[in-house]
Structure 1
């Protein structure tokens, strides 16, 4: 009986550090969704072009990518808790500075500072969470951990749009900075588990995990497509004259509360590679629906379908990346997967903005350009689907050989 109880305890995901890190992730995500939904509007009202909106929104990825080679080895060599505290503090400062920015170039500079925090916060938090998850429930644990983002996404986008309208952009970003302070306070309550810490070395295998490169490429393709939504969905809806577009993000996030745990359980039972094929198909279908949507119900249908896409696929790919290496190299694996995400968020908005401007000139209609850009985003999703299909074929071949 005692052995059974110990095994049950070891296999549960619900430890105190896990819950605390979920709470921290909730406050960080709440700040991000509250502010990031309003940034395209803020930049647009400064008179920036669609291309400039994309450049500023994606600028954080420049510094995030630059810091990753130095941060990756640090995640495994130093205290992950302290690195996470420092990263969250930088993000809080960036949100505070957003409230003082008055030009597009000032926002660009603050966005670069924001990237330094983002470059460390996401991967080191994922590495820290992985210390408290049993391998038998790893995919479920990662999916449930990322549900904290889903809860934040239920509240954040609509709240951000409402606060920006009621109080102005400056107050909205200062409130977001306060949310980050709550996140920092939550992290201070985490007790790290003892683990082997190799010396800090700037070696390629310490910066990145070769085993996770394929997963990072898929995440790049996912993020490049999804960044188009974050950068241009609200602007598109405003030009269509659709009110309450914030409800898109609410519906999307509510649906994630069901799809993320479901996809996590399916991945544990049948393999993440198989489940990902269905997720990418939903991701692509949501963009087809967006390209045809002209009213709020059409956008909401796209939100429901899309919840089984990007939001559910990303945790599964990150799970595969983390599980591809030994526990002491999960910092490098997490760094590799988040590098892929950063590349997508850097390239996606800028490319989408350039495509919108080209389509606008070709069609003579900015609305037509916005409608067509969703279909252009099917290209990276098709590439991701092909890679994941290859994973499935390779997995099936390996099982037959065994």
Structure 2
């Protein structure tokens, strides 16, 4: 759409980054406010944005209008991400890893299905119809959110939050200085930075070695499929065997696969490595959000998950920028190896300094 509006490559990049910037700025305040007001008001706000943002695209006539709509649309995911995870952890005093895994798997499945549905609509109709269908999906999501909690529960939560506001402020300060929460957030940033880099540049590498576009789609399908299937199972394992070892294993797998990506030139090997990369992300991310929820005080869980989401967005936005800069001066092999090394360094740092779930009372 940006290209049809006459945007140049630099402007297209800025438009693409707009929603990520919203996530960086909004995730933490959204989580914080959900601890004070309750989860439902914030989730309803996200639902309203999901309904209205797709229709706003129909009014766009210039690239910068598109960028503003992208910023507005980014509010929905920036709010929904940490607040929905906090809502799930509120409902799951035990088995948090597994239940967060199911939540993440359904989210990934939706993200995988959406481009397929959009592509089918574009073959039989106009691009405007895609946004209309997205708005309808947003309305359905909003209706679903309204059914999550009744007003009595929300009223009680609101009153409780007021009574504990002073305690919340103390807990928030402790979260910002909580080593393991911040390190776990760094892990998320490193992994999703690598994911963003792979998403942006692996297709270009594959095309450069003679792999056709259809096969590139297969490479990424293996990654998404593994993540969707593995997340709940890996979450269950983290519930029963601890979070820290699983996070380290996930980081090591993503580091190794990141290194191997540009050492091979066949579709089969790239597909296998992409699956291992997706498995590494699934193994670690199934435990990271659960670990943060374990360590955070119950009245500041949304805040902690909001901080993690904001740091993760910084990493996901930085990954493609870093790899792009490296590729200006070095080869694919060296550039991907540098990102692999950063993942390995993160694993070593986390191994040496983070505490496991047994440190739950640490805050």
Q: Structures share a fold, TM > 0.5? A: yes
Q: What TM-score do you get using the length of structure 1 for normalisation?
A: 0.73
Which of 14, 23, 31 is equivalent to 1:72?
31
Match of 1:230 in 2: 199
8 Å CA contact retained: 1:255, 1:304: yes
- Partner Cα separation in structure 2 for residue 322 and residue 374 of structure 1: 32
- Partner Cα separation in structure 2 for residue 272 and residue 143 of structure 1: 13
- Partner Cα separation in structure 1 for residue 264 and residue 127 of structure 2: 28
Q: Any idea what SS the aligned residue of 1:190 has?
A: coil
Task: Confirm or deny that 1:241 pairs with 2:212.
Answer: yes
Task: Classify 1:310/1:44 alpha carbon distance in 2 versus 1 (closer, same or farther; 3 Å).
Answer: farther
Aligned pairs for 1:253-332 (under 5 A) are 253-332=224-303
Task: Confirm or deny that 1:94 pairs with 2:53.
Answer: yes
Match of 1:197 in 2: 161
Match of 1:10 in 2: none
Per mean C-alpha deviation after superposition, the further-off stretch among 120-129 and 150-159 is 150-159
Match of 2:320 in 1: 349
8 Å CA contact retained: 1:54, 1:352: no
Q: What TM-score do you get using the length of structure 2 for normalisation?
A: 0.80
Task: Classify 1:61/1:129 alpha carbon distance in 2 versus 1 (closer, same or farther; 3 Å).
Answer: same
8 Å CA contact retained: 1:56, 1:108: yes
Match of 2:97 in 1: 139
List gaps (5 residues or longer) in structure 2.
Answer: none
8 Å CA contact retained: 2:24, 2:313: yes
Task: Classify 1:245/1:131 alpha carbon distance in 2 versus 1 (closer, same or farther; 3 Å).
Answer: same
Task: Classify 1:113/1:153 alpha carbon distance in 2 versus 1 (closer, same or farther; 3 Å).
Answer: closer
8 Å CA contact retained: 2:98, 2:286: no
Which of 316, 332, 338 is equivalent to 2:309?
338
Task: Classify 1:302/1:344 alpha carbon distance in 2 versus 1 (closer, same or farther; 3 Å).
Answer: same
Deviation per CA, 1:232-269: give whole Å up to 9, x if none: 44555566532253333432232224321232122122
8 Å CA contact retained: 2:193, 2:315: yes
Task: Classify 1:238/1:57 alpha carbon distance in 2 versus 1 (closer, same or farther; 3 Å).
Answer: farther
Match of 1:110 in 2: 69
Match of 1:218 in 2: 187
8 Å CA contact retained: 1:76, 1:329: yes
Task: Classify 1:169/1:313 alpha carbon distance in 2 versus 1 (closer, same or farther; 3 Å).
Answer: farther
Residue correspondences, number:
346
- Partner Cα separation in structure 1 for residue 12 and residue 186 of structure 2: 25
- Partner Cα separation in structure 2 for residue 286 and residue 166 of structure 1: 39
Deviation per CA, 1:13-60: give whole Å up to 9, x if none: xxxxxxxxxxxxxxxxxxxxxxxxxx8xx65996643x6554433322
8 Å CA contact retained: 2:171, 2:297: no
Per mean C-alpha deviation after superposition, the further-off stretch among 102-111 and 120-129 is 102-111
Task: Classify 1:138/1:69 alpha carbon distance in 2 versus 1 (closer, same or farther; 3 Å).
Answer: closer
How far off is 1:172 after superposition?
Answer: 3.3
